Structures are given as structure tokens and as C-alpha cells.
Structure 1
């Protein structure tokens, strides 16, 4: 009896976490899949079972494919800036290229945007992107490059990139700080050994820093892709998916379907697709970790 009790003790410690996950994560996810099989409205008690009808409508809706493509573009740009570029910044700051005071200044300045509320960031950059009177266009006019000015958030060809770059501005510094922690964990003796062998900074970065933070890079990449496919707030604040769905992402498409068009079953289908996309990314991460572990 005592042996059974000892075996149960570890499970009792994790039981609260399991209950919370079931109630607030897995339960709602399963419920959402069930909701996606019905045509229903939040304003009506009538539910009509349509099976995979919402998914048929979803996969034949050009707005969905535009939103999915925009999410993919968002993910690619985020990986380039928040992983690759952030790693480069972290390596430069950790390498002692700058003095301690300048290093602290850059680290604080680049990290600062990540602590700002998304709504504040969105409204701030709306002002910066304002045509003619915004900071970007003012700089272009003052340097004689007025031909490059645009209605940044009002043109279909620039709206998405404008929003994506705001996200990179906000989160690249945060990822840089995480990479700095990962680089600091690499034994300094290895760097000193490479210096004695005459390795350049670029060779040190390539042959020691990059392999040394490989696991962190994989995790940060997955987190970044998760965020790119779940993005909603910054897009909604800045463009609400416009103009003409040019900056539409899955999150804004789902929100508009549920709360403006009141086709909640269809919106649940969009949410289910987002869920399985993120689950797939998580599966790929686990597989890569096993293959390279």
C-alpha cells in the first residue's frame, strides 16, 4: 500500500496543471472542433449540423488563402529578423565590439519596444506611417526621395510589409536578449581557444556561436512561427486586415467572421485550422530535436 502511495505522489503534484490544461486548453480546443461542424449564430439558438461544410466553404474562399499566404509571409519575415538577425545582433554585442556602456545602451534600446503594449505600438506606427506628415514621408521629402513615399497602410502593395516590419521592430530586440543569454552560456574557454588559433570573429561565429545556440535557435524559431500564425492584435489595430484584405491574416479573418459577420461555425473552422497549423509546427520541432539530440 505504501509503495502504491509513493508512486502516486508525483502524479498528485502535476494533477493541478493537468486539470488546468484540460479545462482551459484541450477542452476548449475539442469544443471548438465540434462547433466548426455546425452552422450557427451567436444571436440564434438554432444549430444546424453541416459536417465539413464550413471547411468546404473555408477552402474555397479566396480570402482564406490570402490570409494564409500573408501568415506564411509573416512567418518567413519573422524568422529572418527575430531569429537570424537577432542572433547576429546578440553575437556582435556579446563579442565585445562595443564598450560596456555602449553595449548596455544598444541592448536596452533594442529591447525597449518589446515591453510596450501592442495597441500603443500600433497607434505610434500609424502616426509614423501617415502620408505626407508622418516621420517616414517627412524623411523622404527632406532627402529628396519623395518619389518613394506611399500611403503605407492604405496601399495594397505596402500594407502587409508595413505591418510586418512593425512586429519585427517590436520583437527583434526581445529575441536578441534571449540569444545573448544563450551565447553567454557557451564556455569562454572555447572562444579563447579559437582566438589563440587565429580564428576571425566571423569564423568564431560560424563554427562556435551558431552550433552552441542550436537548440535555442530551434526553440526560438518555433516560438516565432507560432506567433506569426497566431498574430492578430497588431494587424487589427493598424489596418484591420485592409485595404481590400491585403494585410488579412487568419486571426483577423476569424475575428471578422465571428463578431462582424456572425458566422461562428465558419470562424470555428478557421480557429481549428490555426490550431492544427501550430500543432504541426510543434510536431516538427519535437522531431528535429530528436533527430539532432
Structure 2
């Protein structure tokens, strides 16, 4: 007797496969195809240029600056949004903070719910060289030599943008770690107490191994987000001053819509996708997530 073909699971999968194909895979292939042509938004035809756009990519100094800024974004984001957020989550789940933890969780999560445009406006006031809170505070504590036009200085612009992003995003990652910590069996901590382990020892021996899977997910979200980041640098500095705070996404947008070169913008988009995919694959390989020890 022949086995019946399992049609029901396929029917359940079809809607998600359809939307993935329409909104992700087909545009991805189309974008790769467009990178071999020279055209603008209103072109009736596309001029085939072969690998000329890719060659131009390696000769573009702005691309190199953008990649370096994206890497800075990723490194700083991993430090604050992964390691600091994990420590913060552990502190909030400690018995000493049980009474105030719900209030603190809300306080840390509020920035996540605020629109990025509103946050950028807020930080533009904070970074204002004349009336900004940051420079005023530095002058108040006697560090007025550190005051500067934070968004107008090429050496500090990208770090100012990154700082704003950390302030907004750390709450989300902290909440994800809190959920993971709450799922850790209490018996593990009780066993550690019997063995005489202190808080730091319990963090490294119990908490850290038990949140490994969540750490992988958070790393993937953070690093991929750092490669794709657009809103923060675009709203605060638009890649300036000069190109000092330019990222790949901002450069792609300016190339396609300001300079009206959609073919080269498609090439930058392809590079951005490849970098995101490479970093994701590296993280999956290194973390060995989902595999039994």
C-alpha cells in the first residue's frame, strides 16, 4: 500500500513561503541582477555594464569608510548590548533587586518603544554644542576641555550616533536575557549555594552556560543590525560631517536616491547582504547553537 503524500504540512507552509518569496527572495535576486546594469529611477532601459559596478565598489573610498563604521558599530554594540545587557539582566534577577526589578525593567525598556525620529531629535538637543546637556554637564563637573560639537566633529560623530543607538537598544536585549534567566531551573542555583559559590561564580558557572542559545540569537540580531543600520546615522548626521559617520545603508540610499544611480546602489546593497550573511554563518559555525554538548 502506497504512503499518502503529507499534503497538510505543505499547505500550512505555503503562505509563509509565498510571502518570503515575494518580499525577500525575488527582490534579492532582482537586486543582484540590477547590479550588472547602469540605470536611474526614471530610466526606460538599462545599460549592461557587466562587472564595472563591482570594480567601482572596490575603488570607492566611501565604501571603505562605511564598512569601518559598520564594524565599529558592531563591536561597540556587542560590548554593550550583549555583555553589559547580560550583566544588567543578571543583576535585575538577583534576589536583592526582586522588589524594584519590575520598575527597573520598565525604565530600561521605555526607550525601545519610542520612535527613532523622536530619540534622534532628543539626542540632537543633548549633543548641541551651545545649549546641549552633554557639554553643559561637562562644564559643570570641570571637564569643559572635553566639550565639542559632537555631531559636527568628524572624530566623534560616528561614536555619538552609536551611543544613541546603545541607549535605545539595550533594553530589548536585556529583556530577552531576563526571560532566558527566568527559565533557568532554580535547583541549579541551589546546588551552587550548597557548594559555596558566590554571585560571580554562579554567574559564570550557571547563568552564562544556560543562556548560551539566547546569547547566540542576541548576537545575531545585534551584529546583523549593525551591518544594516540606517535610521540613526541618517537622521542624526546624514553620514556627515564629510563621510565620517557614513554607513553602507546610508551610502546606498544616497547613491540611489540623491545621486540617482540605482545600479551602483544595488551593488552596495548586494555587498551589505553578503557581509550580513557571512557574519551570520560565522556566528552559527562558532557558537554551534542547537547542538548537544
2:46 maps to: 47
Question: Could you list the runs of 5+ residues in structure 1 that have no partner in the other structure?
Answer: none
Could you tell me the TM-score, scaled by structure 2's length?
Answer: 0.96
Q: Does 1:224 align with 2:213?
A: no
Mapped to 2, the partners of 1:216 and 1:28 lie a distance apart of 30
TM-score (norm 1): 0.96
- Whole-Å Cα distance in 2 between the matches of residues 28 and 279 of structure 1? 16
Which residue is 1:283 aligned to?
A: 281
Q: Please give the alpha-carbon distance, in whole angstroms, between the structure 2 residues aligned to 1:280 and 1:199.
A: 40
> Hey, what does 1:185 align to over in structure 2?
183
Shift of 1:49: 0.5
- 1:159-198 maps to which residues of 2 (within 5 A)? 159-198=157-196
Q: Secondary structure at the match of 2:4?
A: helix
Residue-by-residue CA offset, 1:217-272 (whole Å, 9 max, x unaligned): 01110110110011001111100000011000001000000000001000000000
- Tell me whether 1:210 sits opposite 2:208 in the alignment: yes
Offset at 1:149?
Answer: 0.3
2:261 corresponding residue in structure 1: 263
Question: Does the Cα contact within 8 Å between 1:82 and 1:224 map onto a contact in 2?
Answer: yes
Q: Distance in 1 between matches of 2:116 and 2:95?
A: 32
Contact 1:39 1:265 in 2 (8 A): yes
1:141 to 116, 139, 142: 139
Aligned to 1:253: 251
Of 283-292 and 248-257, the range deviating more from structure 2: 283-292
Residue segments in structure 2 that go unaligned for 5+ positions in a row: none
Which shifted more, 62-71 or 37-46? 37-46
Q: Check the 8 A contact 1:219/1:285 in 2, yes or no.
A: no
Deviation per residue, 1:8-55 (Å, 9 max, x gap) = 221111011111111110000000000010011113223111111111
Q: What is the alpha-carbon distance in structure 2 between the residues aligned to residue 291 and residue 175 of structure 1?
A: 18
For 1:70 and 1:77, locate their aligned partners in 2 and report how far apart those are by CA, in whole Å. 11
User: Match of 2:81?
Assistant: 82
Aligned CA RMSD, in angstroms, stands at: 1.4
1:98-109 alignment, distance < 5 Å: 98-100=97-99, 102-109=100-107
Question: Could you tell me which residue of structure 2 aligns to residue 21 of structure 1?
Answer: 20
1:199 alignment partner in structure 2: 197
Alpha-carbon separation, structure 2, partners of 1:82 and 1:97: 23
Moved over 6 A (4+): none
Question: Structure 2 matches for 1:92-103, cutoff 5 A?
Answer: 92-100=91-99, 102-103=100-101
- Structure 1 residue 195, shift from structure 2 partner: 1.1
1:65 matched residue in structure 2: 64
Aligned to 2:35: 36
C-alpha deviations, 1:40-97, integer Å up to 9, x for none? 1113223111111111111110100000010011001111111110000001111123
Distance 1:263 1:82 in 2: 35
Secondary structure of the corresponding residue to residue 156 of structure 1:
coil
Cα distance, 1:193 vs structure 2: 1.1
